[in-house]
Chain A
């Protein structure tokens, strides 16, 4: 049976978890901003240099692991797809790939506009 000490301890744990989730949300918003910037250049210049593609892939990978853990599982899913799209076999001047990447980044930005939910994903 839970007593008052248990409840107080659970509250401390929940508050600490929520603080980290808010920190992670901000970190992930910075990541999505960087992806937006990279994808904007891709769209405007019509080509994604290899170094920028690799950087975008790293950011997508980080977003995948973090967003899913910190209350944005749909962002994690979109970031996973983005990471796949930015693989080694992508054509750097492929308009269709650029369009797909842009759609995913728009979805990520939209989802990250909301703060994390209070419950951790199951």
Chain B
């Protein structure tokens, strides 16, 4: 059964251009973690959703068309309404150039792809200090 603690009250914006990754992440967070989810398929759409709907965290893919993860984070952090939302980057194995790019970004943590859908919600809760 899903967790019934305070994690259930959390709403996470899942941003990934891959439909299957987005779906499995949402399934994991809702069915395993007892969270709520909203989705976006690129950074630009994520900015719109985050500005329109209350979310407690953003799970953001690093490499996406239209607007990539780092650019999206910078935009989120310039808007007072979205700046406080913690962002977790979802990324494939980091190349050195990407590690340098991440250094200046205000992120709550990173989760590596491939991820285990059965433990994804726990990883997010651990990074954000949410009880599960």
**Which A residues fall within an 8 A CB radius of B?**
5-6, 9, 12-13, 16-17, 20-21, 23-24, 27, 58, 61-62, 64-70, 73, 76, 80, 120-122
B31 at the interface (CB under 8 A from A): yes
Partner of B92, one of A12, A13, A21, A80: A80
A contact patch SS: helix
Q: Mark each residue of chain B from 68 to 94: 1 if its CB lies under 8 Å from any CB of chain A, else 0.
A: 000000000000000000000000110
Which residue of chain A lies nearest to B19 when distances are taken between CB atoms in the complex? A27
Which B residues are in CB contact (< 8 Å) with A69? 21, 24, 113-115, 117
What is the bound-complex CA distance between A42 and B24, given in angstroms? 35
Which 5 A-B residue pairings sit nearest by Cβ, starting from the closest?
A68-B114, A24-B20, A69-B114, A65-B113, A20-B24
Report whether B20 and A13 are in contact in the complex, using a CB–CB cutoff of 8 Å. no
What chain A residues lie within 8 Å of B9 (beta carbons)?
none
**Residue B1 at the chain A interface, CB threshold 8 Å:** yes
Chain A residues, CB < 8 A from B113: 64-65, 68-69
Q: CA A80 – CA B93 in complex, angstroms?
A: 9
CA of A67 to CA of B113, assembled, Å: 10
B88-114 contact mask (Cβ, 8 Å, vs A): 1 or 0: 000011000000000000000000011
Q: Among B20, B63, B116, which residue has its beta carbon within 8 angstroms of that of A20?
A: B20
Q: Are B1 and A66 in contact (CB under 8 A)?
A: no
Can you identify 11 A-B contacts, CB atoms within 8 angstroms? A5-B1, A12-B31, A13-B32, A20-B23, A24-B20, A27-B20, A61-B92, A65-B114, A66-B18, A69-B21, A121-B114
Q: How far is the CB of A69 from chain B (nearest CB, A)?
A: 4
B38 at the interface (CB under 8 A from A): no
Q: Which residue of B lies closest to A64 (CB)?
A: B92
Question: Are A120 and B118 in contact (CB-based, < 8 A)?
Answer: yes
B23 CB contacts on chain A under 8 angstroms: 20, 23
How far is the CB of B19 from the nearest CB of chain A, in Å? 8
Please indicate the chain A residues that have their CB under 8 angstroms from the CB of B47 in the complex.
none
The closest CB in chain A to the CB of B113 belongs to A65
Q: Which residues of B contact A20 (CB under 8 A)?
A: 20, 23-24, 27
